[in-house]
Amino acid sequence: MAPTIIDGETVFYDPRPIVNVGDIVFLPHPYVQSVKILKRVTEISANGSMILTGDNPAESTDSRTLGAFRVADIQGKIVCLWK
């Protein structure tokens, strides 16, 4: 599957979102603070963690390698894509 958002495209986001499964969110990379990652929420657990996956699993670094992410780390939810 191809990525939903291509490098260089402009996105608009909600900085205080209510996050649901299926949303695309962005947050800091857990190991490289200067990098932001955009991933799709595939699972939210009751303890405040979530599983994030990329839309292109063959090329994505996501929860399969980085583990679960904290909901509190989300910096925004993508609400619009400008092509």
Residue 1, pLDDT above cutoff 60: no
- The two tokens of residue 13 are 């986001």
The three-point CA angle 46-58-79 to 5° equals: 55
pLDDT at 4 exceeding the cut of 70: yes
What confidence category does residue 73 fall into, taking pLDDT thresholds of 50, 70 and 90? Answer: very high
- Tell me, what amino acid is at 56? N
DSSP H helical ranges for the chain: 63-66
CATH superfamily of 10-82: Umud Fragment, subunit A (2.10.109.10)
Among the listed residues 62, 63, 74, 81, the one whose alpha carbon sits nearest the alpha carbon of residue 18: 74
Q: What is the pTM of this model?
A: 0.89
